[in-house]
Structure 1
Amino acid sequence: MRPEILFPLFAPITSLKGVGPRVAPLLEKVAGPIVRDVLWLKPHSLIRRTPAVLSAARDGETMTFEVAIHGYQAPRTKAQPWRVQVTDPTGFMTLVFFGRYGDQLAQRHPVGARRIVSGKVEESSFGRQMVHPDYILPPEKAGEIPELEAVYPATEGLPARRVRGFVLEALERAPELPEWQDPAFLRQEQFPAWRAAMERLHNPQSEADLSLLSPHRRRLAFDELLAHQLAMAQRKAARRREPAARVAASETAEKIRADLPFRFTGAQERALAEIRADLSAGERMSRLVQGDVGSGKTVVAMCAMADVAASGGQSALMAPTEILARQHYETISGPLAAHGVGTVLLTGRDKGAARREKLAALASGEARVAVGTHALFQDEVAFQKLQLVVIDEQHRFGVAERQRLQAKGEATHLIAMSATPIPRTLELTVYGDLDVSRIDEKPPGRTPVATRAAPMTRAHEVEARLREAVQGGAQAFWICPLVSESEATDLAAAERRAAELTERIGPSVGLVHGRLPPAAKDAVMAEFAEGRLSVLVATTVVEVGVNVPNATIMVIEQAERFGLAQLHQLRGRVGRGRRESACVLLYDPPLSETAQQRLDILRRTDDGFVIAEKDLELRGGGDALGLRQSGFPDYAFADPIAHRDLIAAAGDDARLIVMRDPELAGERGKALQVLQELFDWKANLGLRDAG
């Protein structure tokens, strides 16, 4: 139950003065439905009102003047504004008001009256002016004009100044809360108390106070990170207390490994050993296997599935698309079948008798492994004894979907796989409740992809080279950028490129984009994978994991519009066979310094973990753009890049807390319960689970 001390913050926004039926939906759009959401709003800039005389007025600056009202000029048409001439001993200026202000203005500010005016100065063809001053008050009320004013997000019908008023009222309602942070850590970091940090957030004294790295912003970020890490640590501890089937390493898996045409890398050996230690411990496993494109995650998972099959259990491998599910099935079904482990492929395409046969094989236990898409967690799919669930590209599935599949067994073990390497500093934010294995070595025999950059003006040369390569039997991807702000324009450009390539190369050019229905997209991808198309033009990121060994050329148009990690993922679509492969990065000059660095890093290395770290460095503090689709939580104060040092500290603290006071019953534990309620990060809130 929510502690009483937080009631004022969880009251509806309509409890704030001036938030009636008209304003409430606008304020909810800007902030959210409760007072806490308004308190959470952050100023994005600061207005410094410089007191001055009119002769010192500077174009574009927000300034404050003491003036006398000199005269009024009424508009001749409705479209024209009211103009009010004001003077001081050093000069004159015009105040401009649009709308029906005239009578009110003259009554409230008669000619000869002295006024303090504050707003943005503009130099126009009419001379020096101030359009709709922010303040126009008698001199005795000058104290009401702040010299420094925080500027908040606004929306049509609700200006930033009104939002600021609501925020300051929400701040008045914020209580002094018990201290939940470790006193030694607070001293070490020189963090203010929570209430003082909120005060400083909303009453900044300088531009430095707006920085993500200011002590009060770091304090608030650490509070949020600790609430999140604590929830995940509690969830992890609860899962570990849950007994699960003990699965031993098996001869079957070792025979399958002996049959493989390659030896495991050291990283694969380590990952399998960690999985086996979890499976044999008698506790529920939840492990992420992070590895670069083509690092061999699937065969490691296959060995774990063989161990489960040998102990009498079943496994399910779920992939986000049918084409990926088919690829996984082709990779593992042969080696497993050779040692008596039956495998079925279950997708939305299965109908009638064939589907019934597969469902019966799973229900009876005849099939020990199921590979499929979302079709796996449908109600009619029943397993005899599901003990292991493997999720490929786990960030592509909602938590509820993963739980529905796991619920088909009892205390089911989980292996999540991701081909998007994440720097160690950020792992905790996404996977804090999972154990992590990193496969950071490439299998031997992989040929590096030769990466070159060229300006867009040379696209015709690239097309000509591509034509030659295709005539020699090669296949190629041609990626066009797609950003939501100009989706229609980008799509048209991709369609033009596909038409141009068809003209130059012939009819074996296909096009996939986000607006295609999934079945049509899968059909084009399948044609390409089967070699019936030579060139695939794509606007969306080509499926992570799609394996077309014959594809040896990757052209990325306007490469400067993609993030570093995204470019690396795209490049990973080629170089999957034994043939030499090439990646051409076409860019629009001139390149920014960051874009230049991105392309240079990509030319120098193909290690996804190194690239992920470099990507993080290049993004810099405060730029979390591009992280959202990677499954990062939507934090209010914490920035996964600017506050990455705090993530590790919060993770360590959370683990210690759960070890020392698992029930949060001590003095600090009770304060931490308030923290969790404040941020809504609680262990039982499954749907806010990032991992």
Structure 2
Amino acid sequence: MARPDILNPLFASVSTVKGVGPQLSKLMATFFGAPENQDAILLDVLMHMPSGIIDRRQQPGVQFAQPGTVSTFLLHIDRHIPPPRSNNRLPYRIEAHDESGEIAISYFAGRASWLEKTLPVGEKRYVSGLVTFYHGIPQLNHPDYIVAEDKFDELPLVEPVYPLTQGLTSKKLQLATQHALAKLPIVPEWIAQSRLEANGWPSFNKAMRDTHDPQTPADAKIEGAARARLAYDEYFAGQLTLQLVRATMTRESGVKRVLTGDISKKVIAALPFELTNGQNQAVADIEDDLRSNRKMARLVQGDVGSGKTVVALLAMAAMAEAGHQSALMAPTEILATQHFATIASIGEKAGLKVALLTGKMPAGERRSIQTQIETGEIDIVVGTHALFQSSVVFKSLGLTVVDEQHRFGVHQRLALSEKGRKTELLVMTATPIPRTLVLTHFGDMDVSLLKEKPAGRQPIDTAILSAGEYDRVIARLKAKVDEGAQAFWVCPLVEESENLDLVSAEDRHKALRQVFGDRVGLVHGRMKADEKQLVMEQFQRNELSILVATTVIEVGVDVPNATIMIIEHAERFGLSQLHQLRGRVGRGDQRSACLLLHGDKLTEMAQARLKTIRSTEDGFEIAEKDLELRGQGDLLGTRQSGMPGFRIAIPDFHKDLLELAHDDAVHLLEQNPGLQGSEGEAARTLLYLFRKDLAIPLIRAG
């Protein structure tokens, strides 16, 4: 279905606006994130929300002007006083008055010809700006607006303020915004009348006008009705898209799997620990999904060390009972190798054949494994995304397990399921994600939570120290290493930077080698995968006592003997990152410690982060706090991964609207799966407006 014709004017290039030349057009394309080699469009301008409001309605009269307020005056212009030629650092001053008193208008480096024309002596002008005082006389420095007495209606009394970029002025953006508003059509309503009335929301068209051309400050307030309406629309478009993806994944009815429980029982018997309540519940959820006749799409969310891999293994064991293969995909070779080690040692005791397949394997070994996958000899394959190349053919793939899902977007989820037409999908993440973000990014999936840690896990003692205590830290570390302990030492940079006064991993590695000799290893993201692998293995075998690293070790490295985590410049890391890094220790039965070393100048936000980490080990609590402190894009690394960031909704203000939008999207597609009739036409218009048209082909015909 093509884009509705009524929307075409909004898809016109910003270069159609008078006054937006090629240079500004290019700048706006970058600023609004237009696709490569394409212009920004008028819709981008409308979706760029004001960050605040300037209220110019106050006209107090000069005598009653208050310093620090924005005010508007009708002034009689008395005289111009240019600065002396010998001192151009002085401002160009203009004296003016109204019936109540005198005021000065000043411009630094002001052009005399322009000022004489704009503020002619003997005439009246409306002048609006920020009031200051100098030697007891009220001043307007570089006022924002000057209009003739008969042009008062051209002065925006309530003016939205927008985030800008170098070279894009407020005036130019206002120009483009007014042009876009003039092209804004009346669109069909996609929100139920009852919902609109209950919330006191305006139509989409009025909400846009109130936001960009407000008559009162209340019209455009972030917490006001217009902005709430638009935030709901943005959430609703996103949730509708996720529900359409879900419908596509679960549409072909799944297969009712017959599970005997034989292999799962053997796996549980081979485990060196009891399953937690959370693990038991997650396994029960998965088995219910597999026995039903719709395809599984489930997210298992667990904190660091909550035992997700075991849940995945039991899901794969259940699939083997039903006579099908499983594939577990990890984001890195290190993680894939580690999962393989865990799964193979337990799985083989239960009679499961487990293989590892990565891009770095010798060709002969790789071919041999591929043959066994094709003949069905192998029950479980663990690997990186190399598993989904066309050369890998499964005899009967029944289950795909993806680890660290936030690295994969919605489209990859669909592609993964294509390998086996009837494949079930299980996704695991060690990033505890607040509920608002689960809905935003995984609204198309059911969720199981693992809240407890397996028995025997020791709490981690966390301390905050200034980098000035380095010598004390080294002395304590030496004592511990002499007793046989192993430690991670994490730095934010790989190598020295001219711009940042931080210790790099390479420098720290050199410094520690002077104290600990060749018992110190180094890994960072610029090393080749096999070099990293080699150092990690040496550390795992306890051939190295200290591993200096960047955040490449954030996810999934398992060294039970490592009991010390030192994070240098901890103030440079996000909360969730600090939590992930700390989770690399405390994996054995010994008590562990985490030291957060910080630089001298700590911002308030950095202090809040470090205190939060020290006060709790609950990843979900930390994630909520991180969301509050940093915003949702950073939390999931979504700024880089092409996941949905928001242009209108602000999660702090609008989080209750997300649940509403989720429920409404589910309800709409249950009632009208093909989005037929006028209701369907309105919903499709919404998807085009919020650039979610990739979801349109997923709408079920009829």
Deviation at 1:392, TM superposition (A): 0.6
Q: 1:211 Cα shift? A: 4.4
CA distance in structure 2 between the aligned counterparts of 1:147 and 1:425, rounded to whole angstroms: 37
Q: How much is the aligned-residue C-alpha RMSD, in angstroms?
A: 3.3
Paired residue secondary structure (2:653): coil
Given candidates 42, 47, 65, the residue that maps to 1:40 is 47
Q: Return the alpha-carbon distance in structure 1 between the equivalents of residues 180 and 192 of structure 2.
A: 27
Q: Report the equivalent of 1:233.
A: 243
Determine which of 351, 362, 368 is the counterpart of 2:373.
362
Range moving further from structure 2, 206-215 or 360-369:
206-215
- Alpha-carbon offset, residue 325 of structure 1: 0.5
Q: For residues 255-291 of structure 1, give each alpha carbon's deviation from its aligned partner in whole angstroms, at most 9, with x where no partner exists.
A: 1221222222221121112112222223221111111
Match of 2:209 among 192, 195, 199: 199
Aligned residue among 158, 179, 202 for 2:168: 158
Structure 1 window deviating more from structure 2 (308-317 vs 452-461): it is 452-461
Displacement after TM superposition at 1:429 (Å): 1.0
Amino acid at match of 2:634: G
Alpha-carbon distance change, 483 to 23 in structure 1, aligned in 2, over 3 angstroms: farther
State the partner residue of 1:177: 187
Moved more, 263-272 or 569-578: 263-272
Give the equivalent residue in structure 1 for 2:14.
13
SS at match of 2:566: strand
Distance 1:481 1:674 in 2: 45
- Structure-2 change in CA distance of 1:463 and 1:642 (3 Å): farther
Does 1:83 find its partner at 2:92? yes
1:426, 1:343 → 2: CA distance? 34
Give the counterpart letter for 2:339 in structure 1.
H
Q: Is the CA contact 1:389–1:412 (under 8 Å) kept in the aligned structure 2?
A: yes
Secondary structure of the residue aligned to 1:379 is coil
| 1:652 has 2:653 as partner | no
- TM-score w.r.t. the length of structure 2 is 0.88
For residues 597 and 225 of structure 1, the distance between their equivalents in structure 2, rounded to whole angstroms, comes to 29
> Which amino acid in structure 1 is aligned with residue 97 of structure 2?
D
How far is 1:604 from its partner? Answer: 4.4
The question of whether the paired residues in 1 share the 8 Å contact of 2:80 and 2:94 is answered with yes
CA pair 245-625 structure 1, distance change in 2 beyond 3 A: closer
Aligned to 1:27: 28
Which range moves more in the overlay, 54-63 or 154-163? 54-63
Alignment of 1:160-309 (within 5 A): 160-204=170-214, 211-250=221-260, 251-309=262-320
TM-score of the superposed pair, with normalisation by structure 1? 0.89
Task: Give per-residue Cα distances to partners, 1:225-275, cap 9 Å, x unaligned.
Answer: 112112222332343331334433241222122122222222112111211
Deviation at 1:26, TM superposition (A): 2.8
Share of identical aligned residues, percent? 45
Task: Answer yes or no: is 1:68 the counterpart of 2:77.
Answer: yes
| 1:436 lines up with 2:447 in the alignment | yes
Alignment of structure 1 residues 467-482 onto 2, 5 Å: 467-481=478-492
Give how far 1:426 is off.
3.1
Structure 1: unaligned runs, 5 residues or longer: none
Equivalent residue for 2:430?
419
Q: For 1:590-623, what per-residue CA distance to the aligned partner results, in whole angstroms no more than 9, with x for missing partners? A: 867765565455444423234334544x53xx94
Q: CA deviation at 1:157?
A: 3.4
Residue aligning to 1:390: 401
Amino acid corresponding to residue 635 of structure 2 in structure 1: L
Q: Secondary structure at the match of 2:25?
A: helix
Give 1:295-374 correspondences, 5 Å limit. 295-374=306-385
Whole-angstrom CA distance in 2 between matches of 1:337 and 1:389: 19
Shift of 1:473: 1.4
Match of 2:635 in 1: 627
Residue 128 of structure 1 and its aligned partner are, at CA, apart by 7.8
512, 520, 530: which one pairs with 1:501?
512
Task: Describe the shift of the 1:107–1:649 C-alpha distance in structure 2 as closer, same or farther (beyond 3 A).
Answer: closer
Name the counterpart of 1:639: 650
Q: C-alpha displacement at 1:320, in angstroms?
A: 0.7
Q: Give the SS at the match of 1:236.
A: helix
Name the aligned partner's letter for residue 157 of structure 2. E
Summarize the Cα distance change of 1:94–1:259 in structure 2 as closer, same or farther, 3 Å threshold.
closer
Equivalent pairs counted in the alignment come to 682
Q: Which residue of 2 aligns with 1:612?
A: 623
In the alignment, structure 1 residue 578 sits paired with structure 2 residue 589: yes
The structural deviation recorded for 1:315 is 1.4
Distance 1:104 1:435 in 2: 65
Written as runs of structure 1 = structure 2, the 5 A alignment for 1:452-491 is 452-481=463-492, 488-489=499-500
* Counterpart residue type for residue 394 of structure 2: F
Alpha carbons of structure 1 residues 158 and 256: separation in structure 2 relative to 1, 3 Å = closer
> 2:37 aligns to what?
none
TM-fit CA distance, 1:577:
0.8
Query: How many angstroms apart in 2 are the aligned matches of 1:281 and 1:415?
Result: 15
CA contact (8 A) 1:389 1:414 kept: yes
Deviation at 1:624, TM superposition (A): 3.6
- Compared CA separation, residues 625 and 237, structure 1 to 2 (3 A): closer
- Cα deviation digits, residues 512-568 of structure 1 (max 9, x gap): 444545554444434333323322233326231110111101123344444333322
Code of the aligned partner of 1:642: F
Q: In the alignment, is the contact (CA less than 8 A) between 1:248 and 1:276 conserved in 2? A: no
Worse-matched range after superposition: 202-211 or 329-338: 202-211
1:123 is displaced (CA, Å) by 6.7
Q: Secondary structure at the match of 1:684?
A: helix
